Chain A
Amino acid sequence: MNLIEFFTSFPEMSSESLRLFKKSVDGAYRSFSAKYGDAIEAVFDPVLYFLVWFEKLLHNSPWPLVILALLGLVYLGSRSIYLTIGSLFAFLFIGYFGMWDDTMSTVSIIGVCTALTIGFGIPVGILMSGSDRARAMITPILDVMQTMPSFVYLIPVVMLLGIGKIPGLLAVIIYAIPPVIRLTDLGIREVNKEVLEAADAFGANRMQKLFRVQLPLALPTIFAGINQTIMMALAMVVIASMIGVKGLGQPVLKAITNQYFTMGLLNGLAIVALAIIFDRVSQSYGKRMQQHRAGANE
């Protein structure tokens, strides 16, 4: 090989060894998933069970009752009568145009995803805020989770667990959990050092500091993270529908492949309506906590 050639074309590995490399990694993963796939699937059984139960509950209850319950939650969260009325019209629109069942499936998966991301994300965020080393280790993982195209990590998930709700749920969580973790970490780190010193001076131990000072003061920031997480989870419903998650994503997917413009638009609008409702409710709930903190509720 002469010198000029070395500089003009990249000295890459031979295609033979590259093929061998890919083949052996794929083979190893395939045998791993064949061996442990069932066991790992079993771990997720309780989640699947709950998800199915929740979806059935939303589907099988009479629709006026479900709307009433949802509106109740909207009002409790936002304390805004306008938003509640707006949501009522959104739900009526969704139902009238035949998207009720798909919407309920989406609501159920978003609901379960949000609960799981909060349940995992906040403790991880707390861990990160307490140790710079943990933060240095977790941050790049979060970067990968947020930037890696979702299709790429869908491949191993589907290989391992097949097509269905759980792989979809995992895909949504992987994509949506980083904001909760990051903002929990940030919120706790941003707590005023003097206030923390005061807690120390009065002999507060670590748990007392965390639960009485750090978390309450970080709550508005954490809530901004939860809000973002919900938005990102909604953005994932179309991609999740590709691996068999029921909901508004499926008709959208069908509309794309068949060029059904109206069908795509209607279902797209339903996703937008859900997003706006979730966003406004969680934002105004977060804001109310901030007001309380600022003492302006007197």
Chain B
Amino acid sequence: MSEVKIKIENLYKIFGPRAKEYTNKVKSGIDKDELLAKYNHVLGLDNINLDIKEQSIQVVMGLSGSGKSTLIRHINRLIEPTEGTVLVDGEDITKLNKADLLEFRRNKTGMVFQRFALFPHHNILDNVQFGLSIKNLDKSESKDKAMYWIEKVGLTGFENKFPNQLSGGMQQRVGLARALAIDPDILLMDEAFSALDPLIRTDMQDQLLDLQKNLKKTIIFITHDLDEALKLGDRIAILNGGKLVQDGNAEEILLNPADEYVSNFVKDVNRIKVLKIGSIMNIDGNMNESNPSVMVDESIENCLPTMLESESGLNVLDNDKNFVGVISKNNIAEILRRSKD
């Protein structure tokens, strides 16, 4: 869990014909708006440093134009960096030659796109097989693999249909199956669920989490939806104007927003739903046998009924039923008050 899979170091991206020249200007502190107004170049990424751990879901969040789609495209080098390195398993992919880059894309990364980007002239089976056929895999082997993934995403029986005969949710399942079929270590999901309606989106999120339990891929998930980020992300990186403003887990982002941009972002989040008991409990307290107990990784919301019934407080237990702390009504009141401000 703790191995770093992808290490992004001092990554800069400036769009425009004289990008290299302006990197120093960006380093000396001019921002996105100024670079555009004065030099007519667009600042995509500004000194990004990010470690992405193996088998985790790293969410990258930001408003449109914050550079999140640019960042994800550096991981499979669909976009060339202006400066900086992207290490995958310790190998600098910005240095790969053409042939090695193709091999890298064919084997290490699978990508899912916001607007599906399926091949309209191929049926579902051939869409899912696309990455395998690019690798010139044996036909029957690639068909078996494709059928396995079509079944996994729940589309058995649709393999001979064409993409435009399927609903948006189904099309994105094809997109997911297509990416997973090559069995990549890294799954790049660029606003993969943003184009879907809310119910289907929730469904797909659950399916992704479900798949991830067994797959243990390293997933980079781009979204502009905070609820989605909090639900999926082991860690959440927030971009603003090409800069990485904060990288942390849900609790860190909610309880200690790095700046005003982040706190504005998280303002409307229902904290008692997202925050876990463990993040607000008091570890100095003593066990009180007469009080009821709650689990440390329970959400505050789920513990509210027990809390309201209890006279003094609750005991907090970890997964092995060991006592780890106490929680009082005051702890919860404080969180509620903070989210009101």
Contacts and interface: CB of A to CB of B under 8 A. Distances in A.
A202 B117 contact: no
A96 B274 CA distance: 86
A213 B122 CA distance: 9
- B104, B113, B134, B163 pick with most chain A CB within 10 angstroms: B134
A195 B106 contact: no
A293 interface: yes
Q: How large is the interface on B (under 10, 10 to 19, 20 to 34, 35 or more residues)?
A: 20 to 34
Interface in A275-298: 292-295, 298
Contacts of A294: 120, 162, 164
A295 B134 contact: no
B130 interface: yes
Contacts of B130: 199, 202, 212
B78 A201 contact: yes
B164 A213 contact: no
Interface in A212-241: 212-213, 216-217
B2 to A, nearest CB: 28
A258 B287 CA distance: 118
- A192, A198, A213 pick with most chain B CB within 10 angstroms: A198
Interface string B277-312: 000000000000000000000000000000000000
A205 interface: yes
B131 A295 contact: no
A197 B111 CA distance: 10
B113 A203 contact: no
Given A295-B161, A295-B165, A202 B121 contact: no
B162 A208 contact: no
B172 interface: no
Contacts of B163: 295
Interface string B133-145: 1110000000000
B316 interface: no
A45 interface: no
B78 A200 contact: yes
Nearest to B166: A295
Contacts of A208: 134
Given A198-B113, A298-B161, A204 B134 contact: yes
A202 B165 contact: no
B171 to A, nearest CB: 12
B102 interface: yes
B54 to A, nearest CB: 21
B323 interface: no
A217 B130 CA distance: 15
B162 A298 contact: yes
A16 interface: no
A86 B119 CA distance: 38
A244 to B, nearest CB: 44
B76 A201 contact: yes
A202 B119 contact: no
A205 B119 CA distance: 16
A198 B78 CA distance: 10
B99 to A, nearest CB: 9
Contact of B78 (A197, A212, A295): A197
Contacts of B120: 195, 217, 293-295
Nearest to A196: B117
Contact of A203 (B106, B161, B165): B106
B102 A205 contact: yes
A5 interface: no
Contacts of B203: none
B246 to A, nearest CB: 28
A194 interface: yes
B115 interface: yes
Contacts of A212: 130, 133
B119 A298 contact: no
Nearest to A200: B78
A195 B162 contact: no
B130 to A, nearest CB: 6
B262 to A, nearest CB: 30
Contact of B121 (A198, A201, A204, A216): A216
A194 B195 CA distance: 14
B162 A295 contact: yes
A293 B130 CA distance: 16
Contacts of A213: 119
A78 B78 CA distance: 42
A203 B178 CA distance: 13
B237 interface: no
A199 to B, nearest CB: 8
Contacts of B76: 201
A202 B106 contact: yes
B182 interface: yes
A197 B119 contact: no
Contacts of A292: 121
Given A202-B131, A216-B121, 9 more contacts: A192-B117, A197-B78, A198-B113, A201-B109, A202-B105, A205-B102, A212-B130, A217-B121, A293-B120
Interface of A: 192, 194-195, 197-205, 208, 212-213, 216-217, 292-295, 298
Interface of B: 76, 78, 101-107, 109-111, 113, 115, 117-121, 123, 130-131, 133-135, 160-165, 178, 182, 188
